[in-house]
């Protein structure tokens, strides 16, 4: 059998389930770490429940993903997850889901491994959102998940510090209401409202165009430089909705 014939016959099996995201549909790729509870607490021994070194490594990973060949309009990270909003006109790999998932999971795993100095793995999934409001709702959802995780994490690790075993701490934390968790922390001198905003709201990364002043160049000839800016003081709730909606208006 000639190679051309063999290649054509076998490639059908490789591409039979190729799915492409239709034009006009917004794409968000959500990327999650694999086994990060063990990795952060046992392998790296990061401070619990949050460690600024871990946050910074994840932010740098987001920046890499936004500048590695895709047209990413906005990146968001909380805990060990990353969400990337692709520009509506991005046509990378013909908008094939399997390529978006595999390449971005690979880029994340490779770059994050270099950041941590240890091998880590991430998976990815494509969210197809047929409308701007759903994009707004998506990022509102992920930020509210960050707030819930932060409250849960602070209570859980406070119980662990007081001697509770992991299963007991999880059970006790899960049985508390939001008000109970806040009161639990308050009784121990912790006002959850004063905890660093990046822990409760995550970190956003977006593109910014700034003109860099140079003493050897006429001001009229200076060109704006496009660079990535991380925001660790994101607004929340309705203000965050407006933040995302305004970003979408610029695309």
- Report the domain count for the chain: 1
Residue 179 lies in a domain: yes
Residue 76 lies in a domain: yes
Q: Could you read off the pLDDT of 115-171 as tens digits, one per residue?
A: 999 999 999 999 999 999 999 999 999 999 999 999 999 999 999 999 999 999 999
Of all residues in the chain, the percent with pLDDT exceeding 70 is 95
**Cα atoms in the Cβ-side hemisphere of radius 13 Å centred on 6:** 3
CATH code of the domain covering residue 71: 3.30.70.3000
Residue 218 lies in a domain: no
Q: Which residue has the tokens 């003493």?
A: 215
Asked whether the bond before 49 is cis by omega within 30 degrees of 0, the reply is yes
pLDDT of residue 1: 84
Distance separating alpha carbons of residues 243 and 205, to the nearest angstrom:
12
Distance separating alpha carbons of residues 14 and 245, to the nearest angstrom:
39
| End-to-end alpha carbon distance in the chain | 50
Residue 2 lies in a domain: no
Q: Which residue has the tokens 């001001």?
A: 219
pLDDT of residue 99: 96
Residue 139 lies in a domain: yes
> Hey, what are 61's tokens?
């990973």
- Average pLDDT for residues 101-115, to the nearest whole number? 98
Higher pLDDT, 249 or 221: 249
pLDDT of residue 170: 96
Q: What is the mean pLDDT of the chain?
A: 95
Domain that holds residue 155: 15-208+224-249
Residue 214 lies in a domain: no
Residue 219 lies in a domain: no
Q: Which residues contact 59 (CB under 8 A, 6 or more apart)?
A: 77, 203, 205, 230
pLDDT of residue 125: 98
pLDDT of residue 207: 97
Residue 75 lies in a domain: yes
């Amino acid at each position: 059998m000639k190679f051309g014939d063999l290649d054509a016959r076998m490639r059908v099996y490789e591409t039979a389930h190729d799915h492409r995201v239709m034009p006009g549909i917004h794409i968000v790729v959500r990327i999650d770490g694999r086994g990060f509870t063990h990795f952060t607490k046992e392998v790296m021994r990061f401070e619990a429940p949050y460690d600024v070194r871990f946050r910074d490594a994840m932010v740098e990973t987001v920046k890499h993903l936004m500048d590695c060949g895709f047209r990413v309009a906005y990146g968001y990270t909380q805990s060990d997850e990353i969400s990337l909003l692709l520009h509506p006109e991005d046509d990378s790999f013909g908008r094939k889901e399997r390529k978006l998932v595999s390449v971005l999971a690979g880029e994340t795993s490779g770059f994050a491994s270099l950041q941590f100095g240890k091998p880590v793995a991430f998976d990815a999934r494509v969210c197809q959102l047929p409308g701007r409001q759903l994009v707004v709702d998506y990022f509102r959802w992920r930020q509210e998940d960050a707030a819930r995780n932060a409250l849960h994490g602070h209570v859980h690790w406070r119980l662990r510090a007081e001697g509770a075993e992991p299963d007991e701490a999880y059970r006790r934390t899960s049985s508390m209401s939001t008000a109970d968790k806040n009161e639990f922390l308050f009784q121990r001198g912790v006002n959850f409202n004063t905890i660093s905003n990046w822990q409760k709201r995550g970190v956003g990364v977006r593109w910014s165009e700034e003109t860099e002043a140079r003493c050897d160049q006429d001001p009229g000839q200076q060109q704006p430089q496009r660079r990535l800016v991380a925001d660790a003081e994101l607004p929340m709730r309705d203000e965050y909705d407006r933040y995302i909606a305004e970003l979408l208006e610029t695309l």
